Amino acid sequence: MTKSELNKYRNVLEAKQAELVRLVRNRDGIVIEKSADALDEVQYATERELAIRNLDRDSNLLRNVRAALGRIEVGSFGACLHCEDDIRPKRLSAVPWTTFCIHCQEIADRSQGHGAQNHEELLVNMA
Ligand SMILES: [Zn+2]
């Protein structure tokens, strides 16, 4: 991979990292609202659950993005963590924080029993 390609991925990853840090930080204060109205209580609980699920997802993604930036630093970026083959540029462009080539990702998804980690990966897997 050329230096300018690496820089391109680093820029994308750093932008994504900044975005995720903002999202995760904003949700730090997931509030537990109380209401005398039982229906409101249900509504608040649902919203809280959704917020926590999103936070989970964003935190995971943030971890992946940070790991990918780390791999750029140590020079292993772009290689599949499982088989060490080069990850295809098309896949890297869509999900630069991916850790596996498409082949190993499919195996990982199957063995974990729950599809892609996020919407973008799902799209790439289906492509
Ligand atoms: Zn692989």
Distance (Å) from CA 18 to ligand 1 centroid? 28
Distance (Å) from CA 86 to ligand 1 centroid? 8
Distance (Å) from CA 8 to ligand 1 centroid? 22
Distance (Å) from CA 59 to ligand 1 centroid? 24
Average pLDDT score over residue span 53-63: 93
Model pLDDT for residues 104-116, shown as the tens digit of each residue: 999 888 876 555 5
The tokens describing 35, both together, are: 């209401």
Distance (Å) from CA 106 to ligand 1 centroid? 9
Name the residue type at position 80: C
Average pLDDT score over residue span 73-86: 94
Average pLDDT score over residue span 57-85: 95
DSSP-assigned letter for residue 86: B
Q: How far apart are the first and last CA of the chain?
A: 23
Average pLDDT score over residue span 91-111: 91
CB 80 within 8 A of CB 101: yes
Distance (Å) from CA 51 to ligand 1 centroid? 33
The overall average pLDDT reported for the chain is: 85
Taking each helix axis from N to C end, the angle separating 119-126 and 102-112, rounded to the nearest 10 degrees, works out to: 120
- The CA distance from 30 to 55, in Å, is 10
**If residue 102 lies in a helix (H) or strand (E), which one and from where to where?**
helix 102-112
**If residue 51 lies in a helix (H) or strand (E), which one and from where to where?**
helix 38-74
Q: What global pTM score does this model have? A: 0.75
Distance (Å) from CA 77 to ligand 1 centroid? 13
Kindly indicate the confidence band of residue 40, based on its pLDDT and cuts at 50, 70 and 90. confident
